[in-house]
Amino acid sequence: MANPALQDVVAALRKFAQSAADLHALQEFTVTLIDERLPHYNWTGFYMLDPNDPGTLVLGPFRGAPTEHLRIPVTEGICGAAVAQGAALVVDDVLSDPRYLACSLETRSEIVVPIRVNGQIAGEIDIDSHERAAFGPDDRLFLEECSQIIGQFIAAHA
């Protein structure tokens, strides 16, 4: 990761995770920090699989415009496709992707990165940008590190 802003966020997140009270606090810290430090990340949020209905993602802490997508079946959206694929999914132009579920009319690109707990997907981090093709390899590596920190926190506190 060449971008020092990304490295700084990972370092702060790693430190916070050592003493976070619970998952909610860690997720709130993550979305707040990303929203403050990374201006081209215009919507940042968590979708976690519903433990009572593992076929559905449930909106968790987020920063950015309110979304009507509070629950997303894993068969729908870029969010669902990332679970099905089991790996980070980058969409450079959401308007030309038929899977896309619109949150804000301003969104042009999106990245979704699964969170794994002991190998199993437990949820994901979802980021939207108003810029087309805003997310490159550094963003992916950065968000994979964030996901790993959160996955390890869940595993350690379950």
Give the footprint of ligand SME on residues 55-74 (CB under 6 A): 67, 69, 72
Among residues 33, 79, 113, 115, the one that binds ligand SME under rule CB under 6 A: 79
Can residue 43 be called a binding residue for ligand SME (CB under 6 A)?
A: yes
- In a 10 Å sphere around its CB, with 0-12 CB exposed, 13-18 middle and 19+ buried, how is residue 152 labelled? middle
Question: CB within 8 A of 131, min separation 6: which ones?
Answer: 40, 108, 109
Token pair for residue 143?
């968000």
CB of 102 to ligand SME, least distance (A): 7
> Is 64 or 151 the residue whose CB approaches ligand SME more closely?
64
Q: Is the dihedral of CA 103, 139, 48, 86 positive or negative?
A: positive
Residues forming contacts to ligand SME in the complex (CB under 6 A) are 43, 45, 67, 69, 72, 77-79, 100-101, 103, 110, 126, 128
